């Protein structure tokens, strides 16, 4: 009974700051400015389908890159001795302690046409590259900012894999590639799922990164929502509707991911 009482503050917190705001978003999405019920907002989202597609596409690319880069790193960290593990994990998290805005500004000044990279290239007599305000710059910003969220869950799953299970696989005749494909990778799928979730969701809904590194040409859903609330196109009802649709889309994406995980768990042996 005691433990229940201890949970009340959290329940109140959840109700006040999670359930009520979510409900408000739903209410706003289905009402017009006068407060009357309408489906116009939701229908209005349709005209931004290209923005949705671009967000999901860029978010997916950033997620895949984070996974491809982050998995080997997490694996290497998990294999090291514990002292080195701590140092490496700290290095992974170090950029996260620096302000998000500052980090992205730094990339701006690196990537600009007259930025540090291009000046360095020029000094070497190499042709300059246009990097800022491209989709590539947005993806780079996403990967840079969100990759720790990929590495950390992967690392925590990989360190938990019992050494003796790996030895058992070797003992049964698996070389290191087969050990990885048949044991380590399938056993780390929960980490892959949560890493993918933790990178994909913020990447899809980001607005600062696209604003600063993508210029006007790479409008993402986040920017769109930002514009409806704080920007020129002030329309909180449409903004809520866009948020709601985004939420549903993310739910669907995660549902698909989890489905994949369950299949992996039961048929992992047939993966290779």
Partner 1 sequence: MRSAVRPAHSIISAKGMHRKMEKNTIISLSNIAVSFDGEAVLQDFNLSIEDGEFVTLLGPSGCGKTTTLRIIGGFVRQDSGDVFFNGKAINDLPPHKREVNTIFQKYALFPHLNVYNNIAFGMRVHGKSDREIRSKVGEMLEMVNLIGFEHRNVDRLSGGQQQRVAIARALANEPKVLLLDEPLGALDLKLRKDMQVELKKIQQQTGITFLFVTHDQEEALSMSDQVVVMDKGTIQQIGTPIDIYNEPKNAFVADFIGESNIIDGVMREDYVVDFSGRRFRCVDKGFATNEPVDVVIRPEDVDIVPADGEHLTGVVQNVTFKGVFYEVIVDVRGFKWMIQTTDFVKTGEKIGISIQPDEIHVMHKSEYSGTFGDYSTFSDEMDEDSKLPSDVTEAEQE
Tokens linked to 162: 């019992």
CA nearest to 110, candidates 79, 70, 141: 141
Q: Binding of partner 1 at residue 162 (CB under 8 A)? A: yes
> Among 26-34, 80-88, 226-234, 260-268, which window interacts with partner 1 (CB under 8 A)?
260-268
In terms of Cβ atoms closer than 10 Å to its own Cβ (0-12, 13-18, 19+), residue 171 is exposed
Give the Cα separation of 106 and 97 in Å (integer): 14
Residues of span 184-213 touching partner 1 by CB under 8 A: 186-187, 189
Distance of closest approach, residue 168 Cβ to partner 1, in angstroms: 4
How far apart are CB 63 and partner 1 at their closest, in Å? 23
Sequence-distant (≥ 6) Cβ neighbours of residue 24 within 8 angstroms: 240
164 contributes a contact to partner 1 by CB under 8 A:
yes
183 is a contact residue toward partner 1 (CB under 8 A): yes
Minimum separation from the CB atom of position 176 to partner 1 (A): 8
Sole binder of partner 1 in the list 47, 50, 232, 266 (CB under 8 A): 266
How far apart are CB 260 and partner 1 at their closest, in Å? 14
Percentages (nearest 5) of helix, strand, coil residues in the chain: 80, 0, 20
Using the rule CB under 8 A, is 42 a contact of partner 1?
no
* Contact pick of 8, 9, 102, 171 for partner 1 (by CB under 8 A): 171
Which of 218, 143, 155 is CA-nearest to residue 192?
155
- CA dist 173 and 152 (Å) reads 31
- Separation of alpha carbons 63 and 42, rounded Å: 28
Element (H, E) at 91: helix 82-93
Rounded to whole angstroms, how far apart are CA atoms 245 and 193?
A: 22
| Contact criterion met (CB below 8 Å) for 220 and 214 | yes
Residue 101 in contact with partner 1, rule: CB under 8 A:
no
Site map (CB under 8 A) of partner 1, residues 109-148, x = contact: ----------------------------------------
Q: Which is nearer to partner 1, 48 or 180 (CB)?
A: 180
- Nearest distance from C-beta of residue 167 to partner 1, angstroms: 6
CB-based contact 52:249 (threshold 8 Å): yes
Secondary structure string (H, E, C) spanning 84-122? HHHHHHHHHHHHHHCCHHHHHHHHHHHHCCCCHHHHHHH
Residue from 151, 169, 193, 253 that binds partner 1 (CB under 8 A)? 169
Query: Which of 186/239 has CB closer to partner 1?
Result: 186
From 55-63, 169-177, 194-202, 229-237, give the range in contact with partner 1 by CB under 8 A: 169-177
Rounded to 5 degrees, φ, ψ at 196 are -60, -45
- Our CB check for partner 1 shows the closer of 195 and 264 to be 264
Among 4, 173, 216, 232, binds partner 1 (CB under 8 A): 173
Residues that bind partner 1 (CB under 8 A): 162, 164-165, 167-175, 178, 182-183, 186-187, 189, 264-266, 268-269
């Amino acid at each position: 009974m005691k433990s229940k009482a201890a949970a009340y503050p959290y329940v109140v917190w959840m109700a006040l700051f999670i359930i009520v705001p979510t409900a408000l978003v739903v209410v706003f999405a289905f009402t017009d400015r006068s407060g009357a019920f309408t489906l116009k907002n939701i229908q209005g989202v349709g005209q931004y389908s290209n923005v949705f597609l671009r967000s999901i596409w860029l978010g997916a690319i950033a997620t895949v890159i984070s996974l491809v880069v982050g998995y080997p790193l997490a694996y290497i960290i998990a294999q090291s001795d514990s002292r080195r593990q701590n140092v490496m994990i700290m290095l992974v998290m170090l950029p996260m302690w620096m302000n998000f805005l500052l980090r992205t500004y730094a990339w701006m000044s690196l990537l600009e046409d007259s930025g540090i990279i291009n000046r360095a290239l020029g000094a070497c007599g190499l042709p300059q590259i246009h990097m800022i305000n491209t989709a590539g710059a947005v993806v780079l910003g996403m990967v840079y900012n969100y990759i720790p969220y990929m590495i950390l869950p992967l690392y925590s799953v990989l360190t938990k894999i019992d050494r003796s299970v790996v030895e058992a696989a070797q003992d049964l005749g698996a070389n290191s590639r087969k050990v990885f494909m048949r044991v380590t990778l399938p056993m780390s799928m929960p980490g892959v799922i949560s890493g993918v979730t933790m990178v994909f969701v913020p990447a899809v809904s980001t607005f600062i990164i696209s604003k600063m590194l993508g210029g006007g040409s790479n409008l993402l859903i986040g920017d769109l929502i930002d514009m409806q609330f704080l920007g020129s196109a002030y329309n909180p009802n449409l903004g809520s509707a866009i948020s709601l649709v985004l939420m549903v889309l993310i739910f669907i994406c995660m549902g698909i991911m989890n489905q994949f995980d369950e299949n992996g768990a039961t048929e992992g042996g047939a993966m290779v």
